[in-house]
Amino acid sequence: MIDLVQLEAAGEIVRAPALAVRLPAAPRRYYYHGWQSWSPAIWTDTELRLPTPHPKRLHPMQFDPAHIFEPHPHGSGLAAVEMEDGGVVLLGALGMDAHVELAGNEVRGTYEGTTGEWFVDRGDERSVFAHYARELGKRLGKKSSNSAPRVWCSWYSLFTAIDEPRLARVFDGLENLPFDVLQVDDGWQQSVGDWEANAKFSSGMQTLAQRIKATGRRAGLWLAPLIAVKSSRLFRQHRDWFLRDARGRLVSAGFNWGEQLYALDTTHPLVIQWLKGLMQKTRAWGYDYLKLDFLYAGALPGQRHTATAREMAYRESLETMREVLGEDAFLLACGAPILPSLGVCDALRIGPDTAPQWESQRDAVLLHNPAIPGTRNAIRTTLNRMWLKPLVHIDPDVVYFRSVDCDLTPQQKYLLQSLALVCDFRATSDLPQWLGESERDSLREFLTARPRIEQTGARSFKLDGRELDYSSVMELTTTPDRWTAIKGATFGWLANHTWTLRIDHELGKRSLRRRMKDAF
Ligand code: 9PG
């Protein structure tokens, strides 16, 4: 049974397993809210049918796999529509495990196998989202309003090519640039699942943390605690810890690093114990800024050891990790389901990865995939999730100042840097050795700036009086012509094979090795 709410009920809270809001007419635009950090958040014309993003093998790590093929406009947790007169109607869940859709003149929300509260409001875009955020904060909690620490992160320059000598050169080169955290990203571990230092870090992770702390900064570390690659010891030794579907088959958590990913069942008592041990270990090594990544894996659909709704199961596992890490640690959740992370993490990545490229024809047109790393994708989704700012530190991902190994134009870099200032989250991966004198000055200014920020519209701001308009970044490439659609379908089919993904991974590694030999 669906409860029906007439639109007079603005600003109202209703408790129901499912709820429909009848609109006076068909809306003009629809706000699609993707499930996790990397999934897109976009406003589109309701008429527009977005093609299925490719490759499908990546769906579990980019979208909510339970809903990716839905015919109507739909989204995770909340939906908003814009009416002919420009007014916005919002239907948002105030709990976990809810999905919404637009069917004709009705916005419908459903809790997956549970019940909970709904918030319904109408008005102008900024005010309905602000009210919704306030209600979410009351129920899920919110984190401190102190500024987020300023982070140097190893990923977007060195990628997996990190090792002790390279990091030492970076730490030396940073001199007195005002970073609060030096965060070691992917590349230190033996395998995704086997969280011990690999041969490139033979002095051990504790020594590395000490070296960072000796520069006067906090030590940060990347971990993907809820997934494992197929070749990891963890997966080989504990197959029974991993999530399965109703037919007993292992659930895919996506494909990355040239390998199949699997998800831990975080309701399994031995998994909980293992997770606690892992968090204790990283704290004991000396890291107190944790970037916990690929967290969506904790909320994938499947049969769990304990029959807990999937997002609730994820939230409980995040709470467990938080508890062991302690309140004095800073927890950045990445690749994380949005609503279930609120109140537990300190910061939340709210868009896909930025990249030293703006947008590729391959990703935007052929694969039609706005979750793939790219600066335009990152800016678009981050802006559409700015409403989360009162609840959590919103991470728009790193910005770029360098010209070495970077195709972004000065204007594109400026748009991204300014967005980070608006979000009040400052991070970069630029190697100090790659920066010219004026680029280094700009980075220092960025790290120390306290600009006066005024939001002048849904997608425009004034920074110290300087106009900043993102409207040109926001649109998605629309329906492709027939020839492009055929090319895209063929390319998407090719890209879906494990051998193509493996070759792509190998080529990526080779190109990284070459770039590093030349540049660092
Ligand atoms: C390390 C990286 C960095 C980065 C994270 C995450 O959907 N995708 O294809 C996709 C690929 C990589 C990725 C996210 C999504 O990157 O966001 O900051 O830590 O892992 O491997």
Q: For residue 55, say if its preceding peptide bond is cis, omega within 30 degrees of 0.
A: yes
pLDDT attached to residue 9? 60
| Phi-psi domain of 143 (left: phi exceeds 0; alpha: psi -120 through 50; beta: other) | beta
Nearest CA to 39 out of 363, 370, 476, 374 is that of: 370
CB 478 within 8 A of CB 44: no
pLDDT attached to residue 232? 98
For 158-163, the CB contacts below 8 A with 24+ separation are 158/187, 158/429, 158/431, 158/516, 158/520, 159/186, 159/187, 159/512, 160/186, 160/187, 160/509, 160/512, 161/187, 161/512, 161/513, 161/516, 162/187, 162/188, 162/200, 163/200, 163/201
Average pLDDT, rounded, for the chain: 95
For the chain, give the percent of residues with pLDDT over 90: 88
pLDDT (mean) for 464-477: 91
Give, using CA atoms, the residue closest to atom 8 of ligand 1.
372
33-52: per-residue pLDDT in tens?
Answer: 999 999 999 999 998 877 88
Judged against a pLDDT cut of 90, whether residue 294 lies above it is answered with yes
Ligand 1 centroid–CA 481 distance in Å is: 31
Q: Does the Cβ of 395 fall within 6 Å of ligand 1? A: no
What the block records as the tokens of 472 is 């040109």
pLDDT (mean) for 335-349: 98
Q: Does the Cβ of 155 fall within 6 Å of ligand 1? A: yes
Q: Does the Cβ of 363 fall within 6 Å of ligand 1? A: no
**Confidence tier at 147 by pLDDT (50, 70, 90):** confident
Which residues are CB-contacts of 470 (< 8 A; sequence separation ≥ 6)? 379, 383, 415, 419, 459, 460
| DSSP character string of 290-329 | EEE--GGGGGSSSB-SS---HHHHHHHHHHHHHHHH-TTS
Nearest CA to 257 out of 514, 511, 506 is that of: 506
CB 79 within 8 A of CB 90: yes
Q: Does the Cβ of 61 fall within 6 Å of ligand 1? A: yes
Ligand 1 centroid–CA 256 distance in Å is: 9
**Confidence tier at 478 by pLDDT (50, 70, 90):** low
Ligand 1 centroid–CA 498 distance in Å is: 18
**Confidence tier at 519 by pLDDT (50, 70, 90):** confident
Single-letter amino acid, residue 391: L
Nearest CA to 423 out of 457, 456, 376, 463 is that of: 463
414-431: per-residue pLDDT in tens?
Answer: 999 999 999 999 999 999
Q: Does the Cβ of 355 fall within 6 Å of ligand 1? A: no
pLDDT (mean) for 420-447: 97
pLDDT (mean) for 383-405: 97
**Where do the domains of the chain lie, and which CATH numbers do they carry?**
2-140 (no CATH), 151-519 (3.20.20.70)
Judged against a pLDDT cut of 70, whether residue 177 lies above it is answered with yes
pLDDT attached to residue 48? 81
Lowest mean pLDDT among 134-138, 188-192, 344-348, 499-503: 499-503
Pairing state of beta strands 29-33 and 347-349?
Answer: unpaired
pLDDT attached to residue 485? 84
pLDDT attached to residue 4? 67
251-291: per-residue pLDDT in tens?
Answer: 999 999 999 999 999 999 999 999 999 999 999 999 999 99
pLDDT attached to residue 146? 75
**Confidence tier at 10 by pLDDT (50, 70, 90):** confident
Q: Does the Cβ of 338 fall within 6 Å of ligand 1? A: no
Beta partners for residue 289, in sequence order: 220, 330
Nearest CA to 265 out of 314, 228, 304 is that of: 304
Angle, vertex CA 212, rays to CA 210 and CA 216, nearest 5: 105
Where does 72-153 have alpha helices with state H? 125-140
Best residue among 155, 350, 369, 382 to mutate for probing ligand 1's pocket (most ligand atoms within 8 Å of CB) is 155
pLDDT (mean) for 350-360: 97
Rounded to an integer, what distance in angstroms lies between the CA atom of residue 294 and that of residue 144?
24
Q: Does the Cβ of 372 fall within 6 Å of ligand 1? A: yes
Single-letter amino acid, residue 226: L
**Confidence tier at 68 by pLDDT (50, 70, 90):** very high
Ligand 1 centroid–CA 352 distance in Å is: 8
Nearest CA to 142 out of 450, 389, 377 is that of: 389
Nearest CA to 382 out of 414, 410, 423 is that of: 423
Give, using CA atoms, the residue closest to atom 16 of ligand 1.
353
Q: Does the Cβ of 345 fall within 6 Å of ligand 1? A: no
